[in-house]
Amino acid sequence: VDAAALRVIADPDALARLEFLHVDAELVVVAKPPGMPSQPLAPGERGTAAGGVVARFPECADVSIDPRDGGLVHRLDGGTSGVLMAARTRATWAALRAGFGTGAVTKSYLALCEAPPVSRGCDAPLVQRGARVAVDYTDGLSASTTWDVVERVGARALVRCHAATGRMHQVRVHLATCGAPIVGDVRYGGGPMPELIAFFLHAERVQVGDLAVTAPLPADRRAVLAALGATTVA
């Protein structure tokens, strides 16, 4: 497939589902709803966050090396909600990509876990195997996540995670490895919860230099916390 076929298509329907958290001359920050892919995986695919961003800011389609990115400088799993950044210029895209790679960009997530984690963090190296990610101390890439329990909710725990690296499925696998699979994340040992769209992982906050952007919890996550009697309903 040639690069032109993979180019993000402006998608007004996807745009309508995005909440814009910050816009300036260099970058755009949106809140991605759960269940929306960050970028297309096939030519012409619609319903992605990248397509929504490009519908409002067409210049984003041309700033990234990968034509599928639509200016996105990082990605969230389809099931993960929250803060997603896109650049409006090639220079900003390159600088932010470098920042994510070196840890200069800080990210925090909220996860509702089936149980409290048995540690305060995880540095297990990760490797992708098909659609899954596994801990692999021989061939895995370095990965680091730390966390704190915000609130115990019965047997479950609401956990705030800080990801120092950005590996695929990192927070999900590290929590599961430490006895705390995410509610709804059946791929990694979480129990199903039909009230949730996908699983309960929310990219709560991203900070780049002096800019810190926070995304509110989507309605399905707020409703689940309220139904469980949590006092932390952001």
Q: What are the tens digits of pLDDT across the range 182-193?
A: 999 999 999 999
Q: Which residues, other chains included, contact 94 with Cβ-Cβ below 8 Å and sequence gap of 6+?
A: none
Most confident of the ranges 30-44, 98-112, 168-182: 168-182
pLDDT one-digit tens code per residue, 91-110: 999 999 998 878 788 999 99
How does residue 60 score in pLDDT terms, banded at 50, 70 and 90?
A: very high
List, in sequence order, every residue forming a beta bridge with 158; answer none if it has no partner: 112, 151
Q: What is the pairing mode between strands 211-214 and 105-113?
A: unpaired
- Which sequence positions are flagged as catalytic? 77
SS3 call for 62: helix
| Distance separating alpha carbons of residues 234 and 228, to the nearest angstrom | 14
Among 156, 115, 152, smallest CA distance to 232 is for 152
List, in sequence order, every residue forming a beta bridge with 206; answer none if it has no partner: 107, 213
> 42 pLDDT exceeds 90?
no
Mean pLDDT on 61-68: 90
What pLDDT is attached to residue 233?
67
How does residue 35 score in pLDDT terms, banded at 50, 70 and 90?
A: very high
pTM for the complete prediction? 0.94
Q: Which residues, other chains included, contact 31 with Cβ-Cβ below 8 Å and sequence gap of 6+?
A: 18, 19, 21, 81, 82, 83, 84, 215, 216, 218
> 131 pLDDT exceeds 60?
yes
> 173 pLDDT exceeds 60?
yes
Q: Write phi, then psi, for 90 (nearest 5 degrees).
A: -65, -40
How does residue 228 score in pLDDT terms, banded at 50, 70 and 90?
A: very high
CA distances from residue 196 to 104, 185, 187, 199 in whole angstroms, order as listed: 32, 10, 15, 6
| Distance separating alpha carbons of residues 218 and 145, to the nearest angstrom | 23
Higher pLDDT, 110 or 7: 110
Among 173, 166, 174, 127, smallest CA distance to 146 is for 174
How high is the mean pLDDT of the chain? 94
3-state DSSP helix/strand/coil % of the chain, to nearest 5: 25, 30, 45
> 3 pLDDT exceeds 80?
no
What pLDDT is attached to residue 172?
98
